[in-house]
Amino acid sequence: MRITVIGTGYVGLVTGACFSEMGNIVYCVDIDENKIDNLKKGIIPIYEPGLEELVTKNFENGNLKFTTNLVEGIENTEICFIAVGTPMGEDGSADLQYVLAAAEEIGKSISHDIIVVNKSTVPVGTAEKVKKTILNELNKRNVDYNVQVVSNPEFLKEGAAVKDFMQPDRVVIGSDDPEIIEILKELYTPFTLNHERFVIMDVRSAEMTKYASNAMLATRISFMNEIANICERVGADINYVRQGIGSDSRIGYSFLYAGCGYGGSCFPKDVQALIKTAQSHGYNPEILKKVESVNQNQKKVLVNKVIERFGKNLSGLTFAIWGLSFKPETDDMREAPSVVIINKLTEKGAKINVYDPQSMEIAKKYYFKKNNSIRFIENKYDALNNADALILVTEWKEFRSPDFDEINKRIKNRILFDGRNQYNRESLEKMGFEYYQIGYSSS
């Protein structure tokens, strides 16, 4: 098939690359000329395992094309995906300006019937707004084409997005038109050959499914962090509790890890947007509001542990921090706990030596541009030099089994604050470490 994808961010680029890998001709369209020029040169704007190779291969073989000209991109295509950002507005709602701007441009550009697919995460009712916007532009041009708007939400995990697209758990299609459903099933069939993965529903239910999925996962994280905080106060260990409840087949182990809070481009934004949607329809979503507030507080837990150990005035102290991105295998620092942790520590006078395998340039450019108390170190062990303690924030694989003898040689004090509960408490204590984890207190 011939496909257009509007937006070359995280979702749009993965979508375009993966569809092109299956032999489709895909036009990726973006208004950012610099981004398009870089993509043509093989410069990928995000870090995502496997994506660069996929983009380069399919651009070179002609299946994947990049342009700033929507008319060129949409001229002979059957399906147009909208995959632009929906950032959080000032009031917490999803900002649809980019989605509706894309819809407006589609209305100005098309010269034939078309299927428009909302891939962006959007509130319930957005498909109707998109269709109305497109039809308004067609009316201004005095032309009449059959425009069908479908919801097809993405369920991609940062750090595993290519794998998730190639081997989806499910493909949700929101449409009431049997013919369009069959066309989309044909498009996705190469990704679902080993198992029926299609979930068909109406448009509004498909839009709601994406928000409900992310809200459910965020709820599990905040729930475990709440239980972890209780464990610390009653003398229990959250790691044992997780094993005990995760072994229940009704619950399972996924997203049951306590830590220093969730971040990223999806969970914080989508929980807030769902709260706003509920409130705008006269409902008070008490659980969702608590999920959000627990998460905000959880980002401060490591800081509180540091203050409890070293005092409120951290002047003269240096802390090594391993990890900046909100999760491993991505360079995304949006809403990352590391931002809160580092800013609060430096506000109290601390110096920071930080290392992350992917996010340091982004951190320097966007998040800590004016913070002169941070040194960005190119090696995780070098970050320990003259540090009074090590703080683990992101559970990158290279941090899972570090050389503790090397840590002992480099660090001033054998003090480790583990924000992701990666290490064995008993082993570290035998090595003489003061070990502080989430969800357990030795005092």
In DSSP notation, 92-105 reads: SSB--HHHHHHHHH
Instruction: Quote the pTM value.
Output: 0.93
Distance CA 373, CA 80 (A): 47
Give the pLDDT confidence of 156-184 residue by residue, as tens digits: 999 999 999 999 999 999 999 999 999 99
Provide mean pLDDT across the span 236-261. Answer: 96
Query: What DSSP element (H or E) covers 183?
Result: helix 178-188
Statement: residue 441 has pLDDT above 90: no
Provide mean pLDDT across the span 228-238. Answer: 97
Q: To 10 degrees, what angle do helices 267-280 and 286-298 make?
A: 150
Statement: residue 242 has pLDDT above 70: yes
Give the pLDDT confidence of 378-433 residue by residue, as tens digits: 999 999 999 999 999 999 999 999 999 999 999 999 999 999 999 999 999 999 99
Q: Are strands 318-322 and 198-201 parallel, antiparallel or unpaired?
A: unpaired
Beta bridge partners, 437, equal 418, 440
Known catalytic residues?
266
3-state secondary structure 246-294: HCCCCCCCCCCCCCCCCCCCCHHHHHHHHHHHHHHCCCCCHHHHHHHHH
Distance CA 386, CA 317 (A): 9
pLDDT given at position 443: 60
Rounded to a whole number, what is the largest CA-CA distance in the chain? 79
3-class DSSP assignment, residue 344: helix
End-to-end Cα spacing for the chain: 63
Give the pLDDT confidence of 327-356 residue by residue, as tens digits: 999 999 999 999 999 999 999 999 999 999
Distance CA 353, CA 348 (A): 15
pLDDT given at position 89: 87
Sequence-ordered list of residues with C-beta below 8 angstroms from that of 192, at least 6 positions apart, any chain: 168, 171, 198
Of 423, 421, 443, the C-alpha closest to 433 is: 423
Beta bridge partners, 26, equal 3, 64
Beta-sheet strand order (sheet of 171-174): 64-67, 25-29, 2-6, 79-82, 114-118, 147-151, 171-174, 198-201
Provide mean pLDDT across the span 239-247. Answer: 97
Query: What DSSP element (H or E) covers 219?
Result: helix 203-234
